[in-house]
Amino acid sequence: MKDTDRHPSVEVIVEDFGGKGLVARITIDNRRKLNVLGAGLIQRLTAVVCSLQQEEKVRVAVLTGAGDRAFIGGADVNEMAELSPGPAREFISRLHDACAALRNLAVPVIAKIDGYCLGAGLEIAASCDLRIASEGSTFGMPEVRVGIPSVIEAALLPRLIGWGRSRELMLTGRQLAAEEALAWGLVERVVPPGDLDASLDEWVQAILEAGPRAVRLQKALIKEWENLSLDQAIERGIDAFAEAFKTDEPRALMTKFLKRQ
């Protein structure tokens, strides 16, 4: 099928990963427009991610853009150019809902980035738990260049890269190459395009080899830490540690570990 014949879509495939567990692979496909997000695609993405909350056997999710030109090239400027204040609030609130769905998903979400990751795309990526990018990928927050501020989950950026670098990205709109994004801490790994899938699967395999309940507890705890003081975060960690022992998972995995010694 030619790219021009494709209708924008968000597809999810849930597959078994070598008998170790289920992986949900989510693909945003608007490749003829660099996978930019219009209102319809945003709502579809939110619905797909929320549907995975009900899949107890899914252990990890991978989010990517179709093709090799873009992860997500931003929000659809054609749509935004026609907005007035009321619809603008609704549009950006829906984009926040998509980001929140990723952050609230009980299992880790990995952003697989190959190409442009701009504006809304970087907000989506920042909402994921881990980010891996190909060497040719490009990152940026160019909103001020089209007359709007960077908002919603752009607020996550200072936690990832610090206030100074966040200001530079958002006030100037400049773009970063993948290696600079790695040096800044915007992504966790950068690899040649041909190694992207294999390197991603190393993370997937590591997560699948961990305790399923422990991973869910860990993701939830990390998110809680964002809004707690240090003392509160430590206390909440004690609660999570005790909660882990409500099932036999710690005993089973510790026994397996001890048998290898």
Identify whether 82 is a catalytic site residue. Answer: no
State the greatest distance between any 2 C-alpha atoms of the chain, in Å, as a whole number.
65
Count Cβ neighbours within 10 Å for each residue of 208-227 and write b for 16 or more, e otherwise.
bebbbeebbbbbebeeeeee
The catalytically annotated residue of 123, 135, 180, 224 is 123
The question of whether 123 is a catalytic residue gets the answer: yes
CB of 24 closer than 8 Å to CB of 14: yes
Of 143, 188, 235, 249, which is the active-site residue?
143
How, if at all, do strands 22-29 and 9-16 pair? antiparallel
Residue bearing tokens 């692979």:
25
Helices (H), 31-185: 39-52, 77-80, 85-104, 120-126, 157-161, 163-172, 178-184
Q: Which residues are catalytic?
A: 123, 143
